[in-house]
Amino acid sequence: MKIIIHIATQQLELFDDSGKIMRCYAVSTGANGAGEENGSFCTPRGRHVIRAKVGAGQPANAVFVKRRPTGEIYTPELGRQQGGRDWILTRILWLSGCESGFNRSGSCDTMRRYVYLHGTPDTTPLGKPGSRGCVRMRNADLIELFDLVVVGTEVQILV
C-alpha cells in the first residue's frame, strides 16, 4: 500500500499494491503551505513512512496530547470552552521523513516536528489548508485508513 497526499487539491489517496486507488479522502494540510523547516508550521513534502500508529481502540473524538489520550472526548461544548486549541482526535499516524537533509535529520526532520495524520472536529473545514503542518482528516475516514495501513506504509506528500 501507498498513500499520496496532494497539497494542491487537499486530497489523500490510498493505493493498493497493484497501484489501484482504494480510497480518496478530503484533508486539510498546513495553513502556512508546504515546507520542511522546524517551526514553520508547514506541511513537509517528499517521501515519508508511517513511523507509528497511535490510538487503536480509542473511541472516535478521543482527545490526544503528546500522542497520549487525555481521557477527554471532543464535543462542540468542549471546543467552545477551549477555543483555539489544536485538536488532535481519534487516531494518529506519525510520519517520518525518508530524505536526509530534506525531511529527515537536522532542522527539517518530519518526525521530530511531530507531523501526523490525525482526526479533527467534524466542524473543521477540509478541502482547504488550515492545520499547523499536520494532515487533518475526518474521524471516520481516519479510523478507516488507520485500519487499512501498517507501520512502514509509504506516504508521499506532493505539492
CATH superfamily, domain 2-158, is L,D-transpeptidase catalytic domain-like (2.40.440.10)
Buried b (16+ CB within 10 A) or exposed e, 48-74: bbbbebbbeebebbbbbeeeebeeeeb
Which is it for the CA torsion 132, 23, 155, 46, positive or negative? negative
Which of 27, 23, 2, 21 minimizes the C-alpha distance to 131?
27
Report residue 140's pLDDT band, with 50, 70 and 90 as the boundaries: very high
Q: Mean pLDDT across the stretch 127-148? A: 98
Closest by CA position to 64, among listed 91, 100, 103: 91
Q: Can you tell me the distance from the alpha carbon of 36 to that of 133, in angstroms, rounded to the nearest whole number?
A: 9
Predicted pLDDT of residue 83 = 85
How far is the C-alpha of 15 from the C-alpha of 57, rounded, in Å? 24
Spatial CA neighbour of 117 closest among 32, 54, 34, 23? 54
- Summarised one tens digit per residue, pLDDT across range 51-88 is 999 999 999 999 999 999 999 999 999 999 998 899 99
Domain boundaries along the sequence of the chain? 2-158
Contact assessment for residue 25 and residue 127, using Cβ atoms and an 8 Å cutoff:
no
Helix (H, G, I), strand (E, B) or coil at 144: helix
The per-residue pLDDT for range 10-28, each reduced to its tens digit, is: 999 999 999 999 999 999 9
| DSSP state letter for 28 | B
